[in-house]
Structure 1
């Protein structure tokens, strides 16, 4: 395992594990995390040996969100500087969302505020059954950020979204699972292992096709049928000409398991 100031990086097979390590503050989000996690995602994206990424928090809590001590100091700054600093969070959310490889959140304990935003920005979410999720901002006189309302609106009604944001009440993982936001529930302490297992399942797939699938799934909820038909057609035409399709179709017709990893090794050796 290698260690940065905030992000711990480890590898299990083709799965890169990124851990927000600030347990004394329940893994509160800091500007250091913005830079380190964004860089770690870019490194994983560029590494041909990485097929999927798991993002988690150290200890028994995913993330308590923004550091209120830092936020209190920002009140003294001009509005333009406050906005500039907020873009650090926005860029991190974009980095999670736009990573070409699947990113899976492993949540223990809870995800609050921008911690919830980070968890929901991931492509899939594994959570301990006893974990909770809360928008929280209203309790300290603030409004949501980090895309929280955008992500939540994908699977809850306007009324439920409004209640969550105006009350700051906790929503248990079991309810989010029932609503479709959580892919898998686990016993306490088992979320990371389950997330790694899920990541390993998708890590061996065709990486170029997987990146296209991620894009299609990310935009599907806001696209019209015509827009989605067009996007699917563009990607299908591209995929049909790809070596991944030749391997996948050949393997199916030959009644063998497709070896997409071999294609990546061949490409790496040729470069």
Structure 2
């Protein structure tokens, strides 16, 4: 399915969502947020979708909000501005709450809210020549989309503050050193690498994958004791799941596990 703001296709068990506004370097706004949240909800309910890849059309990931629209918001009043921000924030939260792994494939660059979008995924594949910028301050604006929280998961406060106060570009290699980018590839290969990684994850144990995503996404929000309690709950559930029966039997039998037949089934 294609529409004006989002190109949607499937690659086997992988749902690929491409931001489609190349003339404005894939600037995003309310139409994109609604479309992306709709596709994320559809994927969550579809047992044939095992993982999701976000990318941008035309060799650039996303330049963030449309500055003409942001300028017009000055005349719309605080309530309308807030409503539009809530659409962005809902999309970010929908990504973070997805029961399926979400992989971001960044070519060219990711700036402003586009950078927040890139950081919201579970894994981030970027071309070596790509760049990232918290560029709000250049327009007299402040970060949104959870950017400061998402960056704080990977970098020291001083580095976060420097990036937000200066708006300077950071190369993908530097972001890889900081742990923000998980995989570096050559120019033009980010989408292909992300899809291959997504295929790998999509053939894994569906429910165990979902439990791991929940543990990893919220790990920094809990004390050690709280996180161990969450791990215990997940492990108890996993041990009683048919996925574990297949996985353990495969390891003991020195064969590859086949989790595909268990997708969409109830926990044992």
1:1-12 equivalences under 5 Å are 2-12=1-11
What is the rounded CA distance, in whole Å, between the counterparts of 2:111 and 2:263 in structure 1? 38
Asked if structure 1 preserves the Cα contact closer than 8 Å seen for 2:205 and 2:263, the reply is no
Partners of 2:187 and 2:239 lie apart in 1 by: 43
- CA offsets, 1:129-156, max 9 Å, x none? 0000000000000000000000111111
RMSD of aligned Cα (Å) = 1.2
Q: Distance in 2 between matches of 1:78 and 1:25?
A: 25
> Secondary structure of the residue that 1:3 maps to in structure 2?
coil
2-structure distance, mates of 1:174, 1:182: 8
1:67 aligns with 2:66: yes
Flag as ranges the 4+ runs of structure 1 deviating above 3 A: none
Partner of 2:100: 101
Which residue of 1 is the match for residue 193 of structure 2?
194
Distance 2:246 2:168 in 1: 49
Report deviation, 1:16. 1.1
1:81-160 mapped onto 2 (5 Å cutoff): 81-160=80-159
Query: Equivalent residue for 1:257?
Result: 256
Q: Structure 1 unaligned runs (5+)?
A: none
1:72-128 Cα distance to aligned partner (Å, 9 max, x none): 111112212211211000001001111010000000000000000000000000000
How far has the Cα of 1:15 moved from its partner?
A: 1.1
TM-score by length of 2: 0.97
Gap regions ≥5 residues in structure 2? none
Deviates more, 1:87-96 or 1:5-14: 5-14
Q: 2-side partners of 1:250 and 1:40: how far apart?
A: 35
Q: CA deviation at 1:240?
A: 1.0
